Structures are given as C-alpha cells and as structure tokens.
Amino acid sequence: MEICPYLEETFKILGRSWNGLLINYLSRSEGHAAHFSDIKRDLKSITPRALSLKLAELSEWGLVEKKVISTTPLSIKYILTDKGYALSQAMIPIEHWAQEHLELKDDAI
C-alpha cells in the first residue's frame, strides 16, 4: 500500500520544528495575525533567527503572509493565508486527540 502523497507533503510541513505551533498560534491570534515580537514573547524557547526562518518557510509554502503596515515606525504583521487557516482547522482534531490521550509533564503546563 502506498502512502498518500498529499498527506506526506503535509507532514513535511508540520513535521518541521515550530511550523505546527506557529500555524496554531497565528490561528488563535486576533485576525489570525501577530507581530514578530508577540510571537517571540509567547513562544519563549524559539530563537529570533529560528522564528525568522520558520516564518519565511511558511510564507514560501503559501501558509503565512508578511504584511508591512505603513505606520511610523513601520509595523510588520504575519498573517495566516486562507490556506494556512484551513490547515490550522484541520489540526483541531489532532489537538483534541492529544488532550484526551497524552499526559504532559509538569514543566510543559
């Protein structure tokens, strides 16, 4: 039996460090968008360099869009595209499964 190539491609995206968490984070943010500094503040253990690389990677896949807002100083937000939001919604059953079947260590809560 062959593995579905679409599922394989999806897990190439979600299987990389931080990608699933970033998609989930943006889906829960107001307007499905957030500033770099907000993401960095809330995902404490990601380095700024890794965050930049991951956001660029998600942008290349068409899941996240970088939006420059003309303010003084300039403001940049990262926004889930429709494609990225659809993927975030597909992840909800996985989140429910995890809540039912996994035990978190005390330091993860």
| Three-class SS state of 97 | helix
User: Average pLDDT of 67-81?
Assistant: 92
Tell me: the pLDDT tens digits for 36-65? 999 999 999 999 999 999 999 999 999 999
* pLDDT exceeds cutoff 90 at 105: no
Q: How confident is the model at residue 92 (pLDDT cuts 50, 70, 90)?
A: very high
Report how far residue 25's alpha carbon sits from residue 46's, in angstroms, rounded to the nearest whole number: 13
